[in-house]
Structure 1
Amino acid sequence: MGLLNGVEYRTVEVRFDNEICFLRINRPDAENRISSRLVEECARVVEFCEQHAKVLVLEGLPEVFCTGADFQEISSAPQGDGYERTHAEALYDLWLSIALGSFVSVAHVRGRVNAGGVGFVAACDVVLCEEKAVFSLSELLFGLMPACVMPFLIRKVGVAKANYLTLMTQPVTARQALDWQLADACEVNSANLLRKHLLRLRYLPKTGVARYKKYLGALDDTLVASREKAVEANREVFSDPENLAKISRYVRTGQFPWEEE
């Protein structure tokens, strides 16, 4: 999928335009689900951006931004080897680096966003979406919860709206996301919307952005303070045998927990 700093990437596409990095999640055969390799590759790119980019644009595919955890990987992971906690720590730390990094992080959202995909969106400084985009948190349908997503989502929309999205598990429209401040701007042509924002963000100096982001993080340390609670809650639900059975059945048959065999 391309090279950056001598490293080949398989789950993402990366390109630079001056000091703007475009990071595209690119797992079309897996609906852009979050695998361990995806987290690792995104983390490498974000680390590179700390020194070399003043804007990071995070994108997905035209019909799907990101649909959350890779259930195939979870169902095949050896039990008791600490996979759940290690993966959760890596994912949370990736979102922290996007939220607190020395660059402006911009989510360009098209298509479906679910579960952990909402975490990627909520971690970004600026969220731009097309009018066809839909956002959902489906975890509770499987007995899970958006544990790592919640601190980032609450920072965006508040406790009440984050709670509603979690409990209802239903998609909300881009316009609803805009009203709830999960999204900052929305248009039919989101590519043009992104272009207009980048034309302005190009003027910002890297040093100024870095100092501002450091100050902003110092004003509110909620994301850092919530890390351990989020990781532990995530480990608890993803190590529950009943939940893992639901995930395995879904991977095997495509049936949701409430559907009969």
Structure 2
Amino acid sequence: MRYETLSVGFDGGLCRVRFDRADAGNAITDRLVAELGAVLARCEASEEPAVTVVVLEGSPEVFCAGGDFEATAAGEVSDPGPLYDLWLRLASGPFVSISLVQGRANAGGLGFVAASDIVLAGRGASFGLSELLFGLFPACVLPFLIRRVGRQKAHYMTLMTRPLGAEEALACGLADALDEDPERLLGAHLARLRHLGRPALARYKGYLGEISGELERCRPAALAANRALFADPAVQRNIRRYVTELKFPWES
């Protein structure tokens, strides 16, 4: 298949997906969500060999900068449901999902990170939630982030809007491992993870979902909050001003 927003490769039981919108900060669009959903469906349906590891990565500078503010400023507001469901599939699918983060992961980009089973970071990685600067809050990201780092750390990150460096992310559990050479780090993990079988992974991740069903339970509230925020005229003005003038709301 050909993709407009992704670069996708399969190697036996491994699927590597690179966000391929570097000129736009690998920002999330409806097209990207649909294409990644199709990739995950292909992974879920794969046989002989079954895909057991899915790796998400961006460019060395930007993993994913979050939602597409250009589209939002133009009045295009995406339905948050498909993106939330995409993160659910990363969290619960019958494979090991890995985010390989070298550059900036921000806002919705952090949703991919928080939904992943394993997060591997380079020294230049950073992880942030900038939403409150624009009058938003990360409604859909928070259920996944709280599951990974705990309620108070997610609360602090949301309020401070300051990106965490790679060392800070490792210390709080947002990243699982860190290395100067992210590709070497990935190789060391794949050397063990590729021994895992699809049936065992499917049973294990299904069990995890049964004993911690907060992601499904939080979905209605997360989507309702997201829709209300992006419908707020003040939020829309803040986003348009940032896109057109590169100024935050408080700047004259």
Give the TM-score range, shorter chain: over 0.9
Q: 1:19 aligns with which of 13, 30, 34?
A: 13
Q: 1:51 aligns with which of 7, 28, 45?
A: 45
Q: Give, in angstroms, the shift of residue 212 of structure 1.
A: 0.8
Q: 2:95 aligns with which of 103, 109, 115?
A: 103
Q: Which amino acid aligns with 1:59?
A: E
Normalising by the residue count of structure 2, what TM-score does the alignment of the two structures yield? Answer: 0.96
- The separation in 1 between residues aligned to 2:64 and 2:210, in whole angstroms, is 29
Equivalent residue runs for 1:103-252 within 5 Å:
103-252=95-244
Q: Secondary structure at the match of 1:39?
A: helix
- The separation in 1 between residues aligned to 2:35 and 2:249, in whole angstroms, is 32
Q: Which amino acid aligns with 1:131?
A: R
Q: Which amino acid aligns with 1:199?
A: A
The alignment covers a number of residue pairs equal to 248
Q: RMSD over aligned Cα, in angstroms?
A: 0.9
Q: Give, in angstroms, the shift of residue 30 of structure 1.
A: 0.4
Q: Identity percentage over the alignment?
A: 51
1:229-255 residue CA offsets vs partner (Å, 9 max, x unmatched): 000111111110000011111111121
- The separation in 1 between residues aligned to 2:173 and 2:227, in whole angstroms, is 29
Normalising by the residue count of structure 1, what TM-score does the alignment of the two structures yield? Answer: 0.93
Q: Give, in angstroms, the shift of residue 28 of structure 1.
A: 1.1
Equivalent residue runs for 1:84-99 within 5 Å:
84=78, 86=79, 88-99=80-91
Q: 2:28 aligns with which of 19, 28, 34?
A: 34
Q: Which amino acid aligns with 2:246?
A: G
Unaligned 5+ segments in structure 1 are: none
- The separation in 2 between residues aligned to 1:91 and 1:168, in whole angstroms, is 24
Q: Secondary structure at the match of 2:248?
A: coil
Unaligned 5+ segments in structure 2 are: none
- The separation in 1 between residues aligned to 2:74 and 2:163, in whole angstroms, is 28
- The separation in 1 between residues aligned to 2:164 and 2:37, in whole angstroms, is 29
1:48-103 residue CA offsets vs partner (Å, 9 max, x unmatched): 1112211100111111100111011112235xxxx44x2x0011000001111010
Q: Which runs of 4+ in 1 moved over 3 A?
A: none
